[in-house]
Amino acid sequence: MGFRANTILNLIVGTAIALSAYLKPVGGNTADEVQGWTITQRQGWYWGSQGSRLLPLKWFESLEQPDNDKPFADIGYLSSFGYLAPPSGSSFRRPIGFAVDKQPDANLVATKLRWYQTQQGGSHAEPWVGLNCSACHTAEIAYQGNSLRIDGGPSLTDFQSFIEALDKALIATKSEPEKLKRFSRKVLAGRNSAKNRHLLVAALDKLIEWQDETARLNATPLRYGYGRVDAFGHIYNKVAMFAGSEKFTNNPADAPVSFPFLWNIHRQKHVQWNGIAENTKVQLGVGHLDYGAMGRNTGEVLGVFGEVVVTPQNGLLGSFEGFRSSVDLANLDRMETTLEKLQAPRWPISFPPIDQSKASRGAELFGMKCATNCHKPTHETTDTETMHKFVGMPANELTDIWMACNAFTYLAPAGKLADGD
């Protein structure tokens, strides 16, 4: 038995339901800031963990670049992949979206690494680094020395090259004795014994193997370049890995798409470029759980280095038993609620004023060339009304249908997600 792409939504929604008890109320807001966000809300967006675990924090800080001995975590180096430096004066020393995840790991599998003898899995578990939403949904543009950060704007990152560089750096650490020596000295500072060095190499092997399998499944000769990623393809393959699907014909992650902007998303009925995810809210006591967003974001976290432990769903409750995972649902809900407050950026005063005659000519052209087809609102929109973005996807040379096609045609064995028939 196989699973199709939209089974992913069932898995992730199951996870969301099982863990929704962890939801916490969202803090107060005085929208006195740029784009409707306060400094605290912006900080939560930049640095809040969503349960993404790419590699242990200590390893991230100790790793060297693949071809030299400079630090991998160097902001200048990470900026070369398009990641944005933290705002000046910030106490954070990682690029925007490089969030630290600290949680007990005793129930996890793939991201439960042990590299020294006294290491604990409970409340003192080692922190990890991963990517949160803002790594992919924050833009920055510059004009004559004035830069403008756009929260929720499309990032111009080269995710594919970043991951390849990380994989190369891990492999180089394993295979080059001098690199390994320096790495062990830093990671094991104060406990650099032969036994721990042995444990560290075994843990490094485990992470390399995991990354290698991910790379094998996603492999494509296509280069995404800056500003595009096949998010759906990556999520799809990760879910197959967690489901323990036996080796299957590769579903290459070969449909890179642009990073969308995120203001107004809560007003859309459907999201994702192919409209596969519905925004559905569920009333929970006095508040609401953004059920659609939770499912969608849980999928995103799994695609971007979150972990779920899939066990066969044989009990009476079926998928309502849920799954153990690293996904931080409380923070995800907080981030999604913060997003509802996000406003489109205003034209900055440091930029030259808008040429009104060109702007009205642009509006005319939009009406003629764009709104007549794909971008026509089905009815007038207001702040509270639902926007219907999709009015059909014309199969013409203007539309890249690859992502939608992959979402429909990709198949993988269901593994532990199989329901037994």
- 47 contributes a contact to ligand HEC by CB under 6 A: no
Per CB under 6 A, the list member of 71, 86, 127, 260 interacting with ligand HEC is 260
**Shortest CA distance to 66 belongs to which of 159, 169, 136?**
169
- Tell the smallest beta-carbon distance from residue 120 to ligand HEC (Å): 28
- Residue 330 tokens, joined: 């409380």
Distance CA 49, CA 44 (A): 9
Distance CA 95, CA 75 (A): 6
- Residue 353 tokens, joined: 């004023």
Distance CA 229, CA 162 (A): 11
Which of 140, 321 has the CB closer to ligand HEC?
140
For the chain, helix (H) and strand (E) counts, in that order, are: 13, 15
- 58 contributes a contact to ligand HEC by CB under 6 A: no
Which of 192, 343 has the CB closer to ligand HEC?
343
Of all helices (H) and strands (E), which one includes residue 55?
strand 55-56
Calculate ∠ Cα 244-246-248, nearest 5°: 125
Within 319-358, the residues that bind ligand HEC by CB under 6 A are 332, 335-336
- 253 contributes a contact to ligand HEC by CB under 6 A: no
Per CB under 6 A, the list member of 78, 169, 243, 265 interacting with ligand HEC is 265
Distance CA 99, CA 136 (A): 12
Which of 137, 238 has the CB closer to ligand HEC?
137
Number of residues engaging ligand HEC in binding (CB under 6 A): 26
Q: Which span sits near ligand HEC by CB under 6 A: 77-85, 195-203, 205-213, 260-268?
A: 260-268
Which of 8, 203 has the CB closer to ligand HEC?
8
Q: Which span sits near ligand HEC by CB under 6 A: 62-70, 205-213, 252-260, 368-376?
A: 252-260
Q: Which span sits near ligand HEC by CB under 6 A: 29-37, 113-121, 259-267, 368-376?
A: 259-267
- 136 contributes a contact to ligand HEC by CB under 6 A: yes
Taking the alpha carbons at both ends of the chain, their separation in whole angstroms is 8
- 163 contributes a contact to ligand HEC by CB under 6 A: no
Which of 314, 378 has the CB closer to ligand HEC?
378
Q: Which amino acid is at 179?
A: K
Secondary structure E strands in 193-234: 228-229
- 131 contributes a contact to ligand HEC by CB under 6 A: yes
Which of 172, 301 has the CB closer to ligand HEC?
301
- Integer CA distances (angstroms), 109 to 106, 137, 192, 207, in order: 8, 29, 25, 11
- Tell the smallest beta-carbon distance from residue 218 to ligand HEC (Å): 12
The pairing of strands 228-229 and 146-151 is unpaired
- Tell the smallest beta-carbon distance from residue 335 to ligand HEC (Å): 6
Q: Which amino acid is at 130?
A: G
Distance CA 279, CA 387 (A): 11
Catalog residues that contact ligand HEC under the rule CB under 6 A.
50, 131-133, 135-137, 159, 229, 231-232, 257, 259-260, 262, 265, 271-273, 297, 300, 304, 332, 335-336, 403
